[in-house]
A = this chain, B = another copy of it.
Amino acid sequence: MAAEVAALEGEGVGAVVTFTGLVRNQSAFGPVEAVELEHYPGMTEATLQAQVEEAGHRWSLLGVTVLHRIGRLPAGAPIVLVAVASAHREAAFQAASFLMDYLKTRAPFWKKEWVNGVAYWVEAKASDAAAADRWQR
């Protein structure tokens, strides 16, 4: 992660905001051993790329990195990293928050939680849909 942030430093950068999403060790079904991330190859990359471009239209940004892991990840492991660089902090905070809200509701990833040896598909959350709706215009 330090490397991703370092890569964003440069001419005029005054603010870097990062978001790291980690595998929580608790779920409604009990203690989580691991999650399994499935995705739609091709569409994933295109969707994330389009979201980064959209963020660049909305805010004045100097660098954006989005990384998302797939496959089996143990509790505590990082799943997703969003890092945004800009001249001032407001744009960086807003864009990072926007990118996560869009990623959570529009990027084709699906997550299973392993609890006591049984895998449960995670249900989409209404709160994520509401968070993404904030950015509609």
Nearest residue (CB) in B for A23 is B14
Bound CA–CA A13/B49 (angstroms): 27
Question: In the complex, what residues of B have CB within 8 A of residue A17's CB?
Answer: 17-20, 96
Which of B5, B11, B76 lies in contact with A1, CB distance below 8 A?
A: B5
Interface size on A, residues (CB 8 A): 32
Judged by a CB distance under 8 angstroms, whether A26 is at the interface is yes
A89 to chain B, nearest CB (A): 6
Closest-CB distance, A84 to chain B (whole angstroms): 10
Choose one: B5, B76, B92; the contact of A9 (CB below 8 Å): B76
Q: A100 within 8 Å of B by Cβ?
A: yes
Distance in angstroms between the alpha carbons of A2 and B13 in the assembled complex: 19
Let me know if B26 and A15 touch, CB within 8 A: no
A78-115 contact mask (Cβ, 8 Å, vs B): 1 or 0: 00000000010110110011001000000000000000
Residues in chain B near residue A9, CB distance under 8 A: 22, 76
Task: Name the 6 nearest CB pairs between A and B, nearest first.
Answer: A14-B24, A2-B2, A16-B20, A18-B18, A93-B97, A17-B19
